Every structure is written in structure tokens, then in C-alpha cells.
Structure 1
């Protein structure tokens, strides 16, 4: 369970860092630029902790899949970026993949 909490923190830090990428306006704004360093630094630290328990491929699939969903949501609500029908379908398929890994795979930790 602790491993999945660390994975969640890794994704949240990554989502924060990626959102700061957008907000920094190509590193021209100081505080969002600092947020990039903090976000990705925290993300990779927590990611490394998860790798001690869950194999790299599964960890990265979960991390990136959940991150895509959160970044898409952040882009929509925070930055006003619209998602068309096919983008929503693709995101739904990513969520389905995350569910399959967690419910059916023997390589993830439960």
C-alpha cells in the first residue's frame, strides 16, 4: 500500500511540474520555473522509491497513464485547453489499461 501512495505522490509531483511548464511561459516566469524543478525533482524521487517494489515497465505505465489523465484534466480546467471526442476516447482507453494492470496483472503489487 505504501508503494501505491508513493506512486500517487510521484504522479502528483509530475502533474504539478508539468503544469508549471505551461505556466512558466518557456521559463520566463520565475515561480512557475521553480515549480518545474520542485515538481520533477519530487516526482523522480518518489518514482525511484516505487521502483524498489514494482518493475520498471509497470511503474512507468501506471505513472505515465495516470499522469496523462491528470495533465489532461489540468489542461482543461486550469488552462482552458479543450479535448475533442477522440482525445476523451484515448484517455478512457488509458484508464482502462491502468485498471487492467491493477486488476489482472501479477506483476503489480497489491
Structure 2
């Protein structure tokens, strides 16, 4: 159950972050409300997940998966380009999350 909460927290954060661009500097109401609700929901779910998951692992997964997902959404939905350095950075983030999880499992 805690990893489901973490997954939902990641989903809410990714949705909120993706909607940031749509707010046009917080001048559009509905995307701005989506950002606010998404972040509040994300932190509430993350907080509940932290009851059973170590903070170092949960935050690494939350931020790492969120970063990779938002980069992919930026490329797919907003036409942002991802070159070799960006892909290398995403790979390093994922490697860092994996290493934290492997170390904490011991």
C-alpha cells in the first residue's frame, strides 16, 4: 500500500508540474487550480507513504521518476527537444534512484 501511495503522489506531482506551462504565468484559472490541487494532493500522498517508506528512498523515487516523466511529457506534449546531454541526465537520475533503493534494501 505505501508504494501505491507513492505512485499516486508521483502521478499528482507530474500532472501538476505539466500544468505549470499551461497556467501562462498563473493567468489562466483552471490550469492554475490543477497545479495547486495536484501539488497539495502529491504532498499529502507522499506524507502518507513516508509512514512506511524511508524518506531517502521515497523522495528519491518521487523526484527521480517525476523528473524523468516531466521531461518526457515536455518533449511529447510541448515539443521540447531532448538532446544527448538531457538523456544522459535523465539516465543519471534514474541510476541514482536505483542505487539509493539497492543500498536501502540491505
TM-score exceeds 0.5: yes
1:18-97 matches, cutoff 5 A: 18-97=17-96
Q: Distance in 1 between matches of 2:104 and 2:43?
A: 24
TM value normalised by structure 1: 0.89
Structure with bigger helix share is 2
1:7-27 CA-to-partner distances (Å, cap 9, x unmatched) read: 110011000111111111111
Unaligned 5+ runs, structure 1: none
1:75-102 CA-to-partner distances (Å, cap 9, x unmatched) read: 1111111111011011011112222333
Aligned residue pairs total 106
**Contact in 1 for aligned 2:57/2:104 (Cα 8 Å):** no
SS at match of 1:105: helix
Deviates more, 1:50-59 or 1:31-40: 50-59
**Contact in 1 for aligned 2:14/2:70 (Cα 8 Å):** yes
In structure 2, relative to structure 1, the CA distance for the partners of 1:102 and 1:56 (3 Å cut) is: closer
Deviates more, 1:66-75 or 1:94-103: 94-103
Unaligned 5+ runs, structure 2: none
Alignment RMSD, CA only?
1.4
TM value normalised by structure 2: 0.92
Deviates more, 1:50-59 or 1:33-42: 50-59
